[in-house]
Structure 1
């Protein structure tokens, strides 16, 4: 069984998923907010995604972590490194629950998990698959230093692929 890390940043704790994270995760995936991920999703589809995000830790040594503020316990989103049959390469992804955008949370969380992947897993490159219409995620990938990689294999034909290379960033 893989040890799932808990990562801390200046403002955040990235912690392993728990069963009580499910209701908020499902609400997000069932909403129009999930449109850039292929949603909205049914309860069954969302449950499969929730379970896969956790199971990847044992299968591939990576997976999802829930994002929370250091002074709270409720998750405000999720950040993850996905891999397996649905992902041509290790993918750094993120999502924030409603009302959490515009605070730098996703950037801080993604930077911490990206750096963990490079330091602990020795992954020299990651990609982020981004829906071309998801301007916030495109800007975030660029803020993280990722560059478009038009030659990379895609999860979906319409995806933009942003490549994160091996340079470790300064602390968030």
Structure 2
């Protein structure tokens, strides 16, 4: 095939309990189940399986286009998919963010906190970011609580033409960020 380029190199990060790695086709069932559920309402869902596959594929494309992106969060022992986390800058966003989503059954276990800390450290230490935000809709109180736990504070609002209103949560800079 002409026009093909090399796949992006997606690093693997390991934390005490988690592995942040490239999405694999075997993760798609868990990803699609989350996006089809009522829980996905806070991220614009529920979505069809077709739409979910397109978004799932875009995670890898984001790495190729931006040089960073979201990882699949997997249990370090079993490699079971638990969510998605990582530096994220979709078209139309005001600036790069640290984004997280936790699948059903993984909430309340510290998965999002542990993964978001690793993703933010990567953004600061490897990508050289001096600041980061997280975009959170008003009704997503769990993500707001996590943002606070990560040391982030509200820093204005943003209206996206397709996804609506967000509160911008500003993370502490690399020197102040808890690890």
TM-score of the two chains, using structure 1 as the length reference:
0.91
Q: How does 1:140-159 map to 2 (within 5 A)?
A: 140-150=146-156, 153-155=158-160, 156-159=163-166
Distance 1:83 1:126 in 2: 11
The match for 1:108 is: 114
Q: Which has the larger radius of gyration?
A: 2
Verify the 8 A CA contact 2:20 2:72 in the aligned structure 1.
yes
2:19 aligned with 1:13, yes or no?
A: yes
Q: State the Cα distance separating 1:44 from its structure 2 match.
A: 2.3
Paired residues, what number? 170
Distance between the aligned counterparts of 2:71 and 2:20, measured in 1?
Answer: 6
Contact preservation (8 Å) 1:154, 1:161: no
Task: State the TM-score, normalized to the length of structure 2.
Answer: 0.88
SS of the residue 1:84 aligns to = coil
- Alpha-carbon distance in structure 1 between the residues aligned to 2:95 and 2:55: 18
Q: Which runs of 5+ in 1 are unaligned?
A: none
Over the residues paired in the alignment, what is the CA RMSD in angstroms? 1.6
* 1:92 Cα deviation after fit: 1.1
- Residue 174 of structure 2 corresponds to which residue in structure 1? 167
Task: Point out where structure 2 has 5 or more consecutive residues left out of the alignment.
Answer: 1-5
Partner Cα separation in structure 2 for residue 87 and residue 47 of structure 1: 22
In the TM superposition, residue 60 of structure 1 has moved relative to its aligned partner by: 0.2
1:167 CA drift (Å): 2.6
Equivalent of 1:69, from 60, 75, 91?
Answer: 75
Report the Cα distance in structure 1 between the residues aligned to 2:158 and 2:146, rounded to whole angstroms. 21
Q: Residues of 2 paired with 1:170 and 1:137: CA distance?
A: 17
